[in-house]
Amino acid sequence: MTETPAPLSRRQSIWLVVSIMMATVMQVLDTTIVNVALPHIQGDLAATPSQIGWVLTSYIVPAAIFMTLTGYFSERLGQRRYLVISMAGFTVTSVLCGLADSLSMLVTFRILQGIFGASLVPMSQAIMVQNFPPEARGRMMGLWSVGVMVGPILGPTLGGWLTDALSWRWTFFINLPLGVVSTLIAWKVVPQGKRIRRPMDWWGFVLLVMALGGLQMLLDRGAGEDWYESNEIRLLTLFSVVGFIGYFWHSAQPAGKVLVNLEIFKDRNFSTSCLLMVACGIGMYGTMVLLPLLMQNLLGYTASQAGLMMAPRGIASMISMVTVGRLMDYIEPRRLVVAGAVLFCLGTLPMTNYSLQIDSFWLVVPGFIQGLGLGMLLVPLSTLAYSSVPPALVADATGVFSLMRTLGQALGISIVTMLLSQRSQIYWHELGAQLRLDSSSVQAWLLPLGIAGDSKEAGMLMAMELGKQSHLLAFLDSFVFVLVAFIAVMPALLLIRKIGTRQQQQAASTQK
């Protein structure tokens, strides 16, 4: 079990949580706020559609790589110093992104932004684990997790408003006040932590860059490059596979200095929680991509209306996260994870039966239930993951755990994007082969519209309707994938060891 840290005063606890929540909000917000501004950035910087994708990729790839280095840098520099450097660096590079006057400058600064921002979420988790005793950890994790959800909720809406009202550059400038305040607070309240002269594993670093960089670029660019029809995707796959095999072989060598200590995966609770976190990432971000596209492309909603329809989902997650922190006083975390999984499935199930005639009720209520389930999953999972990780491995564990969430996000986005593209083409051909303008059912459909079956207008109308129906069926298949992928990993819960309620943990700690 992890060591119980010295208790913090109420004032110290509040400011500590405020500081790392602001850092978390800042980093998570930046992963979604820029998306809606991409068309404006493309026009302003004269970028092609393929080039503009690098604005996202250049941030995601270095963030994924450096996320796993959290343990190394926090030990070499000290916990507080590394967090402050990361916050300050993220703030400065955000401003530089907003000042960029060419695509190459913007991509360069986005790479630096990803490097500095990579540690903010895992470091925040590590600080929560190391500075709060087990009996208080669940409640604090609940508050911290609100920050994780604020970004996806506010990002698209805030980004759209800033872009329309001011400029796309303000999607980066918005980080300045948050960054300055959170950096100053962190410098005052975050404990420094021990500094350890941990040698750099350069071979491990190179192999990790190959593995994670190749994988992230593969997932990010696969759909746009038609997957394995592209030589680029084949090369990235080879690059990533060689990197992973090489890294695991290198880390298994006796008496070697490793970048990320893979001993953490011997902890059953941690490794199982990582698997479940990937499923949560697929479910969370897969549906976050699908629902706005469905509403705007097929149901006629505007971007702002789609954002409002998505808001209850995020609000439910925040409510659930705060509530579950208190429920952990009385309910064992594994049971809460099961309850969250059931709620998520109940919310996702109606989405697999959507039609073009659904009203706002069937968009809001299932999303609200799904949000409650996700919020009930994330907090207990974080608590279970670190419940028996040795203190010396907590920094490494938080980096890997955050990487699993990022990997789930990338998988969810890439797979549903691929399914939408491929399945809509398949359904177009399947449905189109069965339709004839001179059939009685088509004539009955056209008659109330006053359109002749052999007219040009009838053909155009039929093509539009065929496109809508084939696209809708592709959306339904994608929702089915999210649901099945989520259900498939839930039996892994049986592998997690019981840790007891918070009251039971507190009683055990008192007896010691």
Query: What's the start-to-end Cα distance of the chain, in Å?
Result: 13
Give yes or no: residues 167 and 277 share one domain. Answer: no
Give yes or no: residues 282 and 166 share one domain. Answer: no
Give yes or no: residues 9 and 124 share one domain. Answer: yes
- The per-residue pLDDT string of the chain (512 residues; one tens digit each, 9 = 90 and over) reads 444 445 566 677 777 777 777 777 777 777 667 766 766 787 788 776 556 667 776 787 788 788 878 877 887 888 888 888 999 999 999 999 999 988 889 989 998 998 898 888 778 777 777 777 666 666 666 666 666 666 666 666 677 677 777 888 888 898 898 889 888 888 887 777 677 777 777 888 888 888 888 887 787 777 667 777 788 888 989 988 998 898 888 877 765 566 677 778 888 888 888 888 888 888 877 887 788 778 878 888 876 677 678 778 878 887 888 788 778 878 888 888 889 999 999 999 999 999 988 988 999 999 999 989 988 888 888 888 888 888 777 777 877 887 787 778 777 877 887 788 788 888 888 877 766 666 666 666 665 665 655 566 666 677 777 788 898 999 999 999 999 988 888 888 888 887 666 555 555 445 54
Say what the pLDDT of residue 2 is: 41
Q: Which of 200, 224, 252 is a domain's end point? A: 200
| 248 within a domain of the structure (yes/no) | no
| 366 within a domain of the structure (yes/no) | yes
Q: Determine which helix (DSSP H) or strand (DSSP E) holds 431, and give its type and residue range.
A: helix 394-432
Are 114 and 60 contacting, i.e. CB atoms less than 8 angstroms apart?
yes
User: Would you tell me the crossing angle of helices 120-131 and 79-99 to the nearest 10 degrees?
Assistant: 150
Specify the number of domains making up the chain.
2
Q: Which of 172, 200, 228 is a domain's end point? A: 200
| 133 within a domain of the structure (yes/no) | yes
Burial of 252 (0-12, 13-18, 19+ CB in 10 A): exposed
C-alpha separations of 246 from 190, 209, 327 in Å: 37, 11, 44
| 493 within a domain of the structure (yes/no) | yes
Contact partners, residue 142, CB within 8 Å, separation at least 6: 321, 322, 323, 324, 325, 326, 379
Say what the pLDDT of residue 99 is: 92
Give yes or no: residues 271 and 192 share one domain. Answer: no
How much is the pTM? 0.74
| 235 within a domain of the structure (yes/no) | no
Give yes or no: residues 302 and 159 share one domain. Answer: no
| 236 within a domain of the structure (yes/no) | no
| 465 within a domain of the structure (yes/no) | yes
| 312 within a domain of the structure (yes/no) | yes
CATH of the domain at 328: 1.20.1250.20
Give yes or no: residues 271 and 196 share one domain. Answer: no
Give yes or no: residues 52 and 190 share one domain. Answer: yes
Give yes or no: residues 399 and 503 share one domain. Answer: yes
Are 414 and 219 contacting, i.e. CB atoms less than 8 angstroms apart?
yes
Q: From CA 159, how far away is CA 257, in angstroms rounded? A: 43
* Cβ count near 279 (within 10 Å): 25
Are 344 and 485 contacting, i.e. CB atoms less than 8 angstroms apart?
no
Written as six digits, the tokens of 383 are 């608590």
Give yes or no: residues 190 and 296 share one domain. Answer: no
Give yes or no: residues 315 and 455 share one domain. Answer: yes
Query: What is the Cα 73 distance to its own chain's centre?
Result: 23
User: Would you tell me the crossing angle of helices 79-99 and 10-33 to the nearest 10 degrees?
Assistant: 30
Give yes or no: residues 174 and 278 share one domain. Answer: no
Give yes or no: residues 447 and 333 share one domain. Answer: yes
Are 431 and 241 contacting, i.e. CB atoms less than 8 angstroms apart?
no
Pick from 429, 483, 394, 336: nearest CA to 3: 394
Q: Which of 166, 200, 234 is a domain's end point? A: 200
Written as six digits, the tokens of 466 are 């065929």
Residue type, 415: I
- Domain residues for 293? 264-512
